[in-house]
Amino acid sequence: MIDSAKSVRSSRAGTLGSSQTERKPSMEQIIATLTRIDLHCHSSASNKPVNRAVGMLTNMPESYSPPEKVYDQAIARGMDLVTITDHDTIAGVMTLKDRG
């Protein structure tokens, strides 16, 4: 998709004429300015299933990963901001508050 956007921009640039010196930012430049956010992550603090029926069958929590690991993995994947949305508790995120 980016390649086709480049070709469209190139063809438009050829029709603009030499009088216009301002160039539109490239798709890569636009993407580089965006903030990447993960707004819904669970940690091991979500220690109960969200769905009672599923919980009765599996007794599995939403996540087995500690909050530190959830946060570090999101940052490693390129997120700028991370929201940990554990069920009925802020215990997981409180372990991260001193990290800054």
Query: Tens of pLDDT along 40-75?
Result: 999 999 887 777 777 777 778 888 999 999 999 999
Residue 100's pLDDT band, with cuts at 50, 70 and 90, is low
> Has residue 88 got a pLDDT over 70?
yes
As a whole-number percent, the residues of the chain with pLDDT over 70 amount to 78
**In whole angstroms, how far apart are CA 13 and each of 8, 24, 59, 71, 78?**
9, 9, 60, 43, 32
pTM score above 0.85: no
> Minimal CA–CA distance to 92: which of 80, 100, 9, 83?
83
Length of the chain: 100
